Structure formats: structure tokens, C-alpha cells
């Protein structure tokens, strides 16, 4: 074997039939699935692609995995769950209002937002709503209890949908975008309009600022052990240590996958400290945190756009990805 072959996994990637801007590339159960901006959802089973139009022709705005289904929010204002067998279930109809954020939570619950309105739907189909002080950009369920963290202008709110109590607020001036909750539920981190991250330690609401990005951070991924948070937005994956009580405060972040291209997507392996890194030039690398070893998954292709979505399967054997120009692929680890 040549040196090139040893550091490259490009042979292990098979192309998938994309077509339009890939909004979500994911797995539902064992099945690779793609949700495209043109409204098409494609399910791949044994190399065969099944195409569906869950929003009856309307474009898909966003998507996420919920159990064995793919949830999509469309321009029709609906939230549809697509199963691997192709069956479609309408979970919500927001009467044409665009869904701005969508997440899946514990016990088959889901949450979404349209403008200021936040909706939580439990596993039995009971929907609760709350109006945030301003438009909502990011949502995240806490790992325990039925509790939702909501990012908005000037901070975040913590809401118990089944309680009448006023949501608890976490204040920090500015426009908060995406939100993520640490797997142990100790920290909440948001990305901000001004190219920074903001975090709160929930125990005492202590603020944490993570800055230095040249652009907005739009992809965040926790390591399987919850000790690291990988982020996009720079020409290296910036990985913050969250092991200690203070989180990343006073500690420099790790950096890996340095290339002359901005990182658009990051996805930690579900079982080891390996990070998949997707770039604006549609290149993909795997980076091992322990020794900074790098493996090439995909060489950049001219005109193929940026990596817009990337996900591992539950076993960590396969990685699916898609680009803004409708290319998609599947890496199967040897």
C-alpha cells in the first residue's frame, strides 16, 4: 500500500443520488436518508433510492432525525415524519408559517418554532405553546425531564412545557442563533450573530464567552463522552474542553483539520474521539483527537458547493454527507 492509500478513505465513499441543496443528510435506523431543498426526501435501502415528496411539492426548510423517522419542516408550514418504509405522518400544521427551528427530544417529543411561537409536542401528541420575547432561532431539549432550552434575542429561556411556571431566563445581550445542550445537561451553548459562542453553566448561570471566529458558527457537535464541543466557522475545527467544572473557561480550545477553507459542518463519531470535518469547498476529513491523525474522506470538487449536512450512523460505521450543490455520499469505514 502507498502512503496515500493509508491516509485516504476516498475509496470507501460511494456517491448517493442527491440532486438539490442537501438540507439534511442522516440515518433513520440503518437507512441513509437525504432531505433536499426542492422538497424531495430520498431513502436509500440496499442501494435503491426511494423518492418522496412529504410536503407535496413545497420546499424543505429544515430537518432532523427523531427516533426511526426523519422530521422535515416545509415551506407549507407542516412538519412531517418520514419513516424508512416511506410512510408519512403529519405532526403539525403551522398554516403556512415557516418553521425556523426543529428538534427531537426524549420520549418521542419534538419541539419547533415559528417566529416567536415555540411549540412542544409530547409522545402522545399533546402540543403546548409559549411565546418567546423575540423570534426564536435555536432549540435544544435537556437530557433529563421534559424541558426545552430556547435561543432568542438577548439570551435564552428554559421552559417546562408541562408547567405553568414562567420560563427561566438566561440573559446575554445580542442575537443568539443555534443552541446546543451538553449531553450531561450542565451547559447550554449558543452561537451568536457576532461570530462568537456564548455559554451558560446551568448550576449558577455563569456566563462563558468563546470568541475568535472569523464567521458565524453554524455547526456544533458534542463528543460521545460529552467532554468536547466541536465547532465550525473557522479554517480549523475549534474544539472546546467541557470536562471540568468550569467548562472551557481559561482553557484554550484544541484545533484540528487546518486547511485554507472554512469549516461548515462538524460531526463527532458516536463512539470514539474522531471528528468528521466538512469544508466550504466540499472536502471532508476525519480527525482523531488523541493524536491529531487525519484521514481524507473526500477531495474538494470544483462547483460542488459546500458541505451542508453530515451525520454518523448509530454504530459509527458509516458517515453520510451532502453539499449545497446537491452532491451526496456515504462513507463506510473499513
Q: Which residues bind other proteins (CB under 8 A)?
A: 20-21, 23, 37-38, 59, 61, 96-98, 100, 115-116, 134-135, 137, 153, 173-175, 193-194, 215-216, 324
Nearer to other proteins, 31 or 137 (CB): 137
Nearer to other proteins, 8 or 215 (CB): 215
Residue found by looking up cell 418521542 in the block: 108
Is 308 within 8 Å of 265 (Cβ atoms)? yes
Nearer to other proteins, 95 or 144 (CB): 95
- Give the CA angle between residues 247, 248, 252 to the nearest 5°: 160
- Give the CA angle between residues 242, 68, 328 to the nearest 5°: 75
Residue found by looking up cell 491529531 in the block: 292
Closest approach of Cβ 124 to other proteins, in Å? 31
Closest approach of Cβ 118 to other proteins, in Å? 14
Nearer to other proteins, 253 or 326 (CB): 326
Closest approach of Cβ 153 to other proteins, in Å? 6
Q: Which residues pair with 101 in a beta bridge?
A: 113
As a dihedral over the C-alpha atoms of residue 233, residue 239, residue 245, residue 250, rounded to 10 degrees, the angle is -80
Nearer to other proteins, 97 or 317 (CB): 97
Is 210 within 8 Å of 240 (Cβ atoms)? yes
Cell representation of residue 146 = 421534559
Closest approach of Cβ 115 to other proteins, in Å? 5
Long-range residue pairs from 204-208, CB within 8 A, at least 24 positions apart, any chain: 205/170, 207/172, 208/247, 208/248, 208/249
Closest approach of Cβ 144 to other proteins, in Å? 30
Closest approach of Cβ 101 to other proteins, in Å? 10
CA–CA separation, 324 and 278 (whole Å): 12
Closest approach of Cβ 194 to other proteins, in Å? 5
Helix, strand or coil for residue 4? helix
Nearer to other proteins, 160 or 172 (CB): 172
Nearer to other proteins, 194 or 244 (CB): 194
Nearer to other proteins, 213 or 228 (CB): 213
Q: For residue 331, give Cα distances in angstroms to 21, 110, 295, 306, 334.
A: 19, 29, 12, 17, 9
Residue 297, CB half-sphere, CA atoms under 13 Å: how many?
30
Closest approach of Cβ 135 to other proteins, in Å? 5
Residue found by looking up cell 426511526 in the block: 68
Amino acid at each position: 500500500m502507498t502512503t496515500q492509500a493509508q491516509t485516504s478513505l476516498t475509496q470507501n465513499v460511494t456517491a448517493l443520488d442527491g440532486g438539490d441543496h442537501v438540507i439534511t443528510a442522516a440515518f433513520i435506523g440503518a437507512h441513509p436518508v437525504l432531505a433536499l431543498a426542492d422538497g424531495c426526501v430520498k431513502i436509500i435501502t440496499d442501494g435503491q433510492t426511494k423518492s418522496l415528496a412529504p410536503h407535496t411539492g413545497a420546499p424543505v426548510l429544515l430537518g432532523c432525525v427523531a427516533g426511526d423517522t426523519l422530521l422535515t419542516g416545509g415551506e407549507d408550514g407542516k412538519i412531517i415524519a418520514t419513516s424508512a418504509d416511506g410512510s408519512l405522518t403529519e405532526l403539525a400544521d403551522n398554516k403556512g408559517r415557516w418553521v425556523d427551528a426543529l428538534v427531537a427530544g426524549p420520549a418521542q417529543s419534538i419541539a419547533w418554532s415559528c417566529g416567536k411561537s415555540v411549540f412542544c409536542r409530547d409522545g402522545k401528541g399533546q402540543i403546548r405553546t409559549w411565546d418567546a420575547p423575540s423570534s426564536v432561532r435555536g432549540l435544544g431539549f435537556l437530557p433529563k425531564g421534559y424541558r426545552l432550552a430556547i435561543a432568542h434575542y438577548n439570551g435564552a429561556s428554559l421552559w417546562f412545557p408541562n408547567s405553568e411556571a414562567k420560563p427561566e431566563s438566561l440573559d446575554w445581550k445580542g442575537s443568539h442563533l443555534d443552541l446546543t445542550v451538553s449531553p450531561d445537561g450542565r451547559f447550554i451553548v449558543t452561537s451568536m450573530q457576532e461570530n462568537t459562542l456564548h455559554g451558560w453553566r446551568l448550576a449558577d448561570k455563569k456566563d462563558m464567552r468563546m470568541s475568535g471566529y472569523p464567521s458565524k458558527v453554524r455547526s456544533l457537535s458534542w463528543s460521545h463522552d460529552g467532554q468536547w464541543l466541536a465547532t465550525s466557522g473557522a479554517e480549523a475545527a475549534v474544539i472546546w474542553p467541557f470536562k471540568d467544572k468550569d467548562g472551557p473557561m481559561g482553557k484554550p480550545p484544541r484545533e484540528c483539520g487546518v486547511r485554507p477553507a472554512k469549516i461548515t459542518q462538524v460531526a463527532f463519531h458516536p463512539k470514539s474521539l474522531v471528528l468528521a470535518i466538512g469544508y466550504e469547498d466540499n472536502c471532508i476529513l476525519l480527525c482523531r483527537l488523541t493524536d491529531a491523525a487525519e484521514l481524507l474522506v473526500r477531495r474538494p470538487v470544483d462547483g460542488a458547493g459546500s458541505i451542508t449536512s453530515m451525520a454518523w450512523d448509530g454504530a459509527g460505521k458509516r458517515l453520510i454527507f451532502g453539499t449545497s450543490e446537491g452532491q451526496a455520499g456515504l462513507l463506510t469505514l473499513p
